């Protein structure tokens, strides 16, 4: 094969966030007309990488070369002008506008000298563009009437309208059906034939295997493995991605499950969200639920906590059947729930730490006339705050939004531990927080379970589940597809279970 | 005025910034304004005028307390004015002791419960009639609010629409009941509540201050109060934390209706008549005074005491403008600008405070991570 022309080269890129290395000495080369896949776990530095190429942030060290010339984007528009287009995981479309409006939103053709939009000029271009990506709908179609896959294509058309040389796809298949995924892959390959270079970011390894010419594996901000697709086995990808020794992060001893069922779920279903979920959590046990994005893991948590409805099945707690949508009743029975997104669903950001941690227990500290019994709260609050080692000088004064991510997460945990729950659910408990706080949170969960409570940990980070759980259930497309005990935890097997679901649905024939 | 320039200029500016973010800023502003305007309009300082300010502000304060509750929740109650009108009319129809057939015989209630001899309580013993009338007025107001709250929280309708419709609806009922006529013939004892003074101090002062103190404690010290702030700040987090967001919302709108009805009692007494158009054009005064006080329209931030300051400032402005003998539309233009200024100020204050949080954080050496 003829050696292809080099188009983008990254050399020694290093990026620090507050003295923590997000990327370290990253070097790779993208050639013309090739698909380069960038894989890695959450927090491996994939997004930071893309933000640097896209000019959103600038690296501390290292250089980028585009078409043989030094490339130093300062703003996102620089990347666009240099011929680099992004397809983000979350689509950036205006659903209430037409395809034309979306594609030309910042470059409308106008009747000369007037502010009026000249649609006719754009319509022809768009039609050609849509034809080229096999999307046969009218340019005037409203985006809200399109399926997720078609919307993705509109996003691609929007990217292509700038005639880029490099197109970067960030997890493009998460919201697509198998058929739409097939179509997308055909299109990506077609773009490669046209000489475009593509960076494809994903953690769905089967997809990566099908598409790539070259694979780059990122882990903890470092390129740990790179090579031609032909040289990679599925196994090598997984091992490179997750293989690391961080045992000291996790508590030395796992809790021991008691023979007492706390939570029992039978055949729980909600159309389009979860299907036939049966599971249980025993006292003193940490159960993990592992799933990729879109597997329904957070939705399941919301249903268990009574925030969202379900159509069939039942939830029992300590042998009592629970009401459908009644979080208050759950809390009274000893449930606690640390949500996935602490800013949006966990905290009152503008309020002091004290107001946040007392919110769930106010009911239990009631004086005459419905007054809050602050005196009685004093002791348990002080105890729990110091137990969790929340770093905050004045909990009645300092707003939560001024705290670090790790401390914020501890505030959420503190809120619930103050309620003395018997069953704790945590959804992505360590997302976006530093390593030290992570370790502390694992210990908190461990101690909680050791005190005989039940714990359910929902996470997309397999590492942490393997590190702290007694059992791991694997969720995929709303169904439990695997269950593993701590004596036979094996990263590759568990990942395989989560991925195999995708494979068996036909996205590839390689296993 | 950017934050950077504020930061860069010595003590005077530091003092100014401190004052700006202080919760007593509005009361300082009120006093400064009052003193300055008194130089140009000496009549501001006359005993009569001060007495005027002092009696004008209480009914407005009563209604604004209710609006404060609603704004704390991130909602809005546009129906307070027509709640005042409805309660005013209902109260007057109950208690009036003489009615002019020329004026009221077109009312659908004429011959049913009202006649030339007044309403059903017109001839009852005065203590009984006054207390029952007030109780009914308060009950009606609270009920109106509770219905709004139920539609907003249970049916999930936007507060703006629900209360706008309620405004039209109850105003129409008030007008229909009296065929747009004022209802007079109210007993002196009833009118005294809103119109008479104990020496220099109006009775309405005692009533609203007591209610204000109760409301203040309810918001700052009770569980329900914490729930209101939590729901207004982040309804999702509140719901996850077991806050009964639905009952809290209903409670808040009911409180708004309650305080509107109190306003209805006071204004009706002052006017010595039940007026179906009571509160017309007053919505801006209520919202304006509350927002000037510093209560945020996006929820979660505000206090009854702030609203008191806002009402004081607003009343001083209004009185001074009428002392200047300006046209009513000029007065409205100035009022509008003042409210605009208050909202702008609120944005500026929030920004300064946010800067404060971040820099305090940087000082204590904590990391501000991008992700969380």
Q: Where are the domains of chain B?
A: 52-344
- Establish if A307 belongs to a structural domain: yes
Query: Hey, is the C-beta of A16 within 8 angstroms of any chain B C-beta?
Result: no
- Establish if A437 belongs to a structural domain: no
Q: Contact B242/A331, CB-based, under 8 Å?
A: yes
Same structural domain, A238 and A249: no
Same structural domain, A20 and A105: yes
- Is the pLDDT at A510 greater than 50? The verdict is no
Same structural domain, A230 and A119: yes
Q: Contact B237/A327, CB-based, under 8 Å?
A: no
Predicted pLDDT of residue B369: 35
Predicted pLDDT of residue A175: 66
Predicted pLDDT of residue A355: 94
- Establish if A436 belongs to a structural domain: no
Same structural domain, A408 and A285: no
Query: Hey, is the C-beta of A435 within 8 angstroms of any chain B C-beta?
Result: no
- Establish if A445 belongs to a structural domain: no
pLDDT in 10s for each residue of chain B, 372 residues: 444 444 455 677 778 778 877 888 888 888 998 999 899 888 888 888 888 888 899 999 999 999 999 999 999 999 999 999 999 999 999 999 999 899 999 999 998 999 988 999 999 999 999 999 999 999 999 999 999 999 999 999 999 999 999 999 999 999 999 999 999 999 999 999 998 988 888 999 999 999 999 999 999 999 999 999 999 999 999 999 999 999 999 999 999 999 999 999 999 999 999 999 999 989 999 999 999 998 988 899 999 999 999 999 999 998 888 888 888 888 889 888 988 887 888 788 777 776 655 444 444 433 333 332
Query: Hey, is the C-beta of B234 within 8 angstroms of any chain A C-beta?
Result: yes
pLDDT tens digits, one per residue of A273-328: 999 999 999 999 999 999 877 788 999 999 999 999 999 999 999 999 998 899 99
Predicted pLDDT of residue A318: 95
Give the contacts of B281 (CB within 8 A, at least 6 positions apart): none
- Count interface pairs A-B at CB distance under 8 A: 114
Same structural domain, A329 and A366: no
Residue B240: which of A337, A349, A372 has the nearest Cβ?
A337
Residue matched to tokens 């694979």: A215
Chain A: closest CA distance from residue B337 (Å): 29
Predicted pLDDT of residue B266: 97
Looking at A187, A211, A242, the residue that finishes a domain is: A242
Query: Hey, is the C-beta of A219 within 8 angstroms of any chain B C-beta?
Result: no
- Establish if A435 belongs to a structural domain: no
Q: Residues of B with CB below 8 A from A17's CB?
A: 369-370
Task: List the single residue in B with minimal CA-CA distance to A437.
Answer: B372
Chain B: closest CA distance from residue A18 (Å): 7
C-alpha B52/C-alpha A121 separation (Å) is 67
Percent of chain A with pLDDT over 90: 38
B244 or A16, higher pLDDT: B244
Predicted pLDDT of residue A2: 52
Same structural domain, A329 and A364: no
Query: Hey, is the C-beta of A451 within 8 angstroms of any chain B C-beta?
Result: no
Count helices and strands in chain A by DSSP H and E runs: 16, 20
pLDDT tens digits, one per residue of A456-479: 999 988 888 999 999 999 998 899
C-alpha A80/C-alpha A458 separation (Å) is 38
Same structural domain, A205 and A352: no
Helix (H, G, I), strand (E, B) or coil at A25: strand
Helix (H, G, I), strand (E, B) or coil at A360: helix
Number of domains within chain A: 3
Tokens representing B223?
Answer: 């569980």
Same structural domain, A17 and A150: yes
Query: Hey, is the C-beta of B237 within 8 angstroms of any chain A C-beta?
Result: yes
- Establish if A403 belongs to a structural domain: yes
Chain A: closest CA distance from residue B201 (Å): 30
Predicted pLDDT of residue A152: 84
Query: Hey, is the C-beta of B360 within 8 angstroms of any chain A C-beta?
Result: yes
Same structural domain, A232 and A298: no
pLDDT tens digits, one per residue of A27-52: 999 998 899 999 877 667 887 888 89
Options 1.10.760, 3.30.530, 1.10.3470, 2.30.30; CATH for B52-344 is 1.10.3470
pLDDT tens digits, one per residue of A408-423: 999 999 999 999 999 9
H/E element holding A224? strand A222-228
CATH code where residue A473 lies: 3.40.50.300
- Is the pLDDT at A269 greater than 90? The verdict is yes
Residue B360: which of A307, A346, A402 has the nearest Cβ?
A402
C-alpha A431/C-alpha A459 separation (Å) is 9
* Domain hosting residue A373, numbered range: 343-420
Same structural domain, A238 and A257: no
Same structural domain, A142 and A286: no
Q: Residues of A with CB below 8 A from B242's CB?
A: 327-328, 331-332, 359-360, 363
Compute the CA torsion angle A392, A393, A394, A398 (nearest 10 deg).
-50
The neighbour count for residue A328, using CB atoms within 10 Å, is 18
- Establish if A441 belongs to a structural domain: no
CA B129 to chain centre: 27
**String of DSSP letters for A462-508:** HHHHHHH-SEEEEEETTEEEEEEEGGG--HHHHHHHHHHHHIIIII-
pLDDT tens digits, one per residue of A207-256: 888 889 999 988 888 888 888 888 887 777 777 776 644 456 788 889 99
Closest CA to B201 of B17, B50, B360, B334: B50
Does this model's pTM top 0.90? My answer is: no
Give, rounded to a whole angstrom, the gap between the first and last alpha carbons of chain A: 27
C-alpha A117/C-alpha A110 separation (Å) is 4
- Do residues B110 and B179 make contact, with C-beta atoms less than 8 angstroms apart? no
- Do residues B372 and A405 make contact, with C-beta atoms less than 8 angstroms apart? yes
Predicted pLDDT of residue B357: 54
Indicate the DSSP class of residue A419: T
Query: In the predicted model, what is the mean pLDDT of residues A169-189?
Result: 81
Burial class of B285 by CB neighbour count within 10 A (0 to 12, 13 to 18, 19+): buried
Query: In the predicted model, what is the mean pLDDT of residues A104-118?
Result: 78
Helix (H, G, I), strand (E, B) or coil at A279: strand
Same structural domain, A260 and A319: yes
- Establish if A434 belongs to a structural domain: no
Query: Hey, is the C-beta of B369 within 8 angstroms of any chain A C-beta?
Result: yes
Chain A: closest CA distance from residue B144 (Å): 24
Q: By mean pLDDT, which of A427-431, A493-497, B86-90 is the weakest?
A: A493-497
Q: Contact A404/B366, CB-based, under 8 Å?
A: yes
Per-residue confidence at A144, pLDDT binned at 50, 70, 90? confident
- Is the pLDDT at A59 greater than 60? The verdict is yes
- Is the pLDDT at A107 greater than 90? The verdict is no
Task: List the single residue in A with minimal CA-CA distance to B221.
Answer: A371
């Amino acid at each position: 094969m003829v050696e292809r022309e080099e188009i983008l080269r990254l050399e020694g890129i290093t990026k620090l966030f507050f003295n923590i290395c997000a990327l370290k000495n990253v070097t790779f080369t993208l050639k013309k007309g090739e698909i380069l896949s960038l894989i890695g776990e959450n927090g491996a530095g994939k997004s930071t990488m893309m933000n640097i190429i896209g000019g959103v942030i600038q690296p501390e060290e290292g250089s980028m070369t585009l078409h043989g010339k030094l490339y130093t984007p300062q703003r996102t528009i620089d990347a666009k002008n240099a011929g680099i287009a992004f397809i983000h995981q979350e689509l950036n479309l205006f659903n209430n506008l037409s395809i034309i409006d979306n594609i030309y939103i910042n470059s409308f053709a106008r009747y000369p000298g007037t502010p009026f939009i000249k649609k006719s000029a754009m319509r022809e271009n768009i039609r050609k563009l849509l034809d080229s990506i096999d999307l046969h709908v009218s340019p005037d179609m409203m985006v809200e009437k399109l399926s997720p896959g078609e919307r993705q294509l509109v996003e691609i058309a929007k990217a292509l309208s700038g005639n880029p040389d490099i197109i970067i796809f960030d997890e493009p298949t998460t919201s697509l059906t198998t058929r739409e995924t097939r179509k997308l892959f055909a299109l990506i390959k077609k773009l490669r034939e046209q000489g475009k270079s593509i960076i494809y970011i994903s953690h769905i390894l089967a997809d990566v295997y099908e598409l790539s010419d070259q694979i780059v594996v990122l882990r903890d901000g470092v390129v740990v493995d790179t090579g031609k697709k032909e040289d990679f086995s599925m196994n090598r990808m997984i091992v490179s991605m997750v293989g690391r020794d961080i045992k000291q992060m996790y508590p030395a001893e796992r809790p021991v499950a008691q023979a007492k069922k706390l939570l029992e779920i039978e055949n729980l279903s909600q159309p389009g969200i979860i299907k036939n979920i049966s599971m249980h959590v025993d006292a003193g046990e940490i159960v993990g639920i592992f799933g990729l994005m879109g597997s329904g893991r957070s939705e399941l948590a919301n249903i268990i906590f009574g925030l969202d409805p379900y159509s069939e099945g039942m939830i029992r707690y300590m042998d009592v059947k629970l009401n459908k949508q009644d979080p208050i009743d759950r809390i009274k029975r000893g449930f606690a729930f640390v949500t996935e997104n602490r800013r949006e669903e966990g905290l009152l950001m503008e309020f002091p730490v004290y107001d946040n941690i007392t919110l769930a227990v106010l009911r239990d500290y009631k004086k005459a006339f419905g007054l809050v019994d602050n005196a009685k709260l004093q002791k348990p609050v002080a105890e729990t705050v110091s137990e969790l080692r929340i770093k905050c000088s004045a909990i009645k004064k300092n707003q939560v939004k001024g705290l670090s991510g790790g401390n914020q997460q501890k505030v959420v945990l503190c809120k619930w531990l103050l309620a003395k729950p018997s069953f704790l659910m945590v959804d992505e408990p360590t997302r976006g927080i530093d390593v030290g706080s992570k370790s502390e949170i694992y210990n908190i969960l461990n101690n909680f379970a050791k005190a005989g409570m039940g714990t359910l940990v929902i996470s997309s980070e397999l590492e942490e589940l393997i590190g702290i759980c007694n059992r791991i259930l694997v969720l995929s497309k709303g169904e439990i597809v695997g269950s593993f005990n701590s004596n036979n935890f094996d990263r590759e097997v568990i990942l395989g279970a989560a991925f195999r679901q995708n494979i068996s649905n036909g996205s590839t024939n390689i296993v | 005025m950017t934050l950077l320039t504020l930061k860069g200029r010595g003590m005077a500016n530091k003092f100014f910034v401190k004052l700006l973010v202080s919760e007593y800023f509005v009361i300082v502003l009120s006093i400064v304004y009052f003193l300055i305007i008194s130089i140009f309009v000496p009549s501001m300082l006359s005993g009569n005028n001060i007495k005027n300010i002092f009696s004008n502000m209480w009914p407005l304060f009563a209604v604004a307390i209710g609006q404060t509750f609603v704004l704390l929740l991130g909602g809005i109650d546009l129906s307070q004015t027509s709640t005042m009108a409805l309660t005013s009319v209902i109260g007057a129809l109950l208690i009036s002791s003489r009615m002019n057939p020329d004026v009221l015989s077109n009312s659908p209630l004429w011959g049913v419960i009202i006649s030339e001899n007044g309403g059903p309580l017109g001839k009852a013993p005065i203590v009984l009639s006054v207390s029952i009338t007030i109780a009914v007025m308060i009950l009606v107001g609270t009920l109106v609010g509770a219905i709004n709250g139920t539609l907003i929280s249970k049916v999930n309708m936007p507060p703006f629409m629900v209360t706008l419709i309620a405004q039209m609806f109850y105003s129409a009922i008030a007008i229909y009941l009296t065929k747009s006529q004022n209802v007079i013939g109210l007993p002196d004892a009833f009118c005294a509540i809103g119109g008479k003074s104990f020496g220099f101090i109006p009775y309405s002062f005692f009533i609203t201050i007591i209610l204000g103190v109760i409301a203040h404690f309810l918001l700052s010290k009770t569980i329900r109060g914490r729930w209101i702030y939590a729901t207004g700040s982040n309804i999702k987090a509140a719901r996850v934390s077991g806050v009964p967001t639905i009952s809290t919302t209903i409670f808040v709108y009911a409180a708004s209706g309650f305080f509107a009805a109190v306003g209805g009692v006071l204004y009706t007494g002052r006017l010595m008549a039940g007026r179906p158009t009571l509160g017309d054009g007053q919505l801006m005064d209520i919202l304006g005074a509350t927002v000037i006080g510093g209560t945020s329209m996006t929820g979660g931030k505000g206090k009854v005491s702030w609203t008191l300051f806002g009402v004081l400032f607003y009343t001083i402005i209004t009185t001074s403008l009428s002392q200047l003998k300006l046209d009513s539309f000029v007065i409205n233009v100035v009022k509008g600008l003042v409210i605009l200024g208050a909202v702008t100020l609120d944005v500026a204050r929030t920004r300064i405070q946010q800067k404060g949080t971040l820099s305090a954080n940087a000082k204590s050496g904590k990391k501000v991570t991008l992700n969380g």
